[in-house]
């Protein structure tokens, strides 16, 4: 039982490049989330999806787009990466209990 799987684990980009972070969960959860983790800032919500076919902005959505491809998958896209987007990105999913289950994270560096 994999839980929440994120790919890639590490990525280095140049400013202006684009990339998509992938996330998949096998727990049949309705809700999925993308966070970024920065030192001294905790985890901040970028986007979330309460159910298949819906997405909503979180606290820090600028510079990002998301796609809820189906119930299992929720991807995060950086269209034109900036150094300020250097961070560790976490995907999570949850069901009605509000307990969130997290992926292992993607460490992204933008040069």
Partner 1 sequence: AQRVTQPEKLLSVFKGAPVELKCNYSYSGSPELFWYVQYSRQRLQLLLRHISRESIKGFTADLNKGETSFHLKKPFAQEEDSAMYYCALSGRGNTGKLIFGQGTTLQVKP
Give yes or no for residue 94 binding partner 1 (CB under 8 A).
Answer: yes
Site string for partner 1, 26-65 (x = CB under 8 A): -----x-x-x----xxxxxx--x-x-----x-x-------
Which residues of 1-111 form beta strands (DSSP E)?
Answer: 4-7, 10-13, 19-25, 31-38, 42-49, 56-57, 65-68, 74-78, 87-94, 100-102, 106-110
Taking the complex as a whole, the smallest distance from the CB of residue 87 to partner 1 amounts, in Å, to 14
Which residue ranges make up the site for partner 1 (CB under 8 A)? 31, 33, 35, 40-45, 48, 50, 56, 58, 90, 92, 94, 98-105
């Amino acid at each position: 039982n994999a839980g929440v799987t994120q790919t890639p684990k590490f990525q280095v980009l140049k400013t202006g490049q684009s990339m998509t972070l992938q996330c998949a969960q096998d727990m049949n959860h309705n809700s999925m989330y993308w966070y970024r983790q920065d030192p001294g800032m905790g985890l901040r919500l970028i986007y979330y999806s309460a159910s298949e076919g819906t997405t909503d902005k979180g606290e820090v959505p600028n510079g990002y787009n998301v796609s809820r491809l189906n119930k299992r998958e929720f991807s995060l896209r950086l269209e034109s990466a900036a150094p300020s987007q250097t961070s560790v990105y976490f995907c999570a999913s949850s069901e009605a209990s509000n307990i969130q289950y997290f992926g292992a994270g993607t460490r992204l560096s933008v040069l």
